[in-house]
Amino acid sequence: MNSSFPTGAFGGASGFGGPGGPAAAIFDAMDQFRKSFEQRTGGPSRMARGDVRAAVITLLAEEPMHGYQIINEIAERSGGSWKPSAGSVYPTLQLLADEGLITAEEQNGRKTYSLTGAGREEAEIAADKPAPWEAFSSHDHSNLTALPKAGMDLAGAAAQVARTGTPEQVHEAVTVLDEARRRLYAILAQD
C-alpha cells in the first residue's frame, strides 16, 4: 500500500473509500459501465412468462429437472444471455402443475418436475417451433457477454492500482487506460 496515504475506510487513503474519494469515482464508473450494457438494444434481454413456460416444457420433455436445473440449463443454452429468475420459473412451474401438465416429486429434498401425458402432448405440438433460447443463439451474443466482463476486469485492475499503486504507477495506469479508450474508439471508426 502507498505509505503516503493514511488508513481509511477502504484500507487506503482517508476518504479514499468514502464519498468523493478515488475509489468511489472508480466504482461509480464501473456501475455506469455495467448499466450501459443493461440498456443495450438490438435483442431481447428479458423473456415473457410465455417464453419461460415454453422453455420449461421444452426442457422437461428431455428429462425431469428441478427448478434451478431449469434456470441453469436455459442460461447455458442461451449462451448466458438469458437466465430467468427463480421468481419467474417457480410460479411458471406452479401454473403448469395447476394445469395438469407437470407433476412434482420430492427427491433429495428438492422437487423434481416431469411432464404428464398432457404435458408431453403440448411439448410435441411445440416441437416444431424454435426453442425460446434460440432467439438468443441466432445472434453472436458471446461478444455481448465477453465485452462487459473484460471491461469489469479492467476496471477492477484500475481500482487495484488506485488503491495500492505508487503515484508513478497510477500515472502509468492512466496512460494505459487513455490509450485503450482511444483504441476502442478507433475500432468503431473502422469501416
Rounded to whole angstroms, how far apart are CA atoms 86 and 120?
A: 23
Rounded to whole angstroms, how far apart are CA atoms 46 and 133?
A: 11
The arithmetic mean of pLDDT across residues 177-184, rounded, is 88
pLDDT in tens, 1-29: 444 333 333 344 444 455 566 666 666 66
pLDDT in tens, 71-84: 999 988 888 778 88
What one-letter code names the amino acid at 41? Answer: T
**Joined grid coordinates for residue 125:** 405440438
pTM: 0.50
**Joined grid coordinates for residue 138:** 441466432
DSSP-derived letter for residue 83 is -
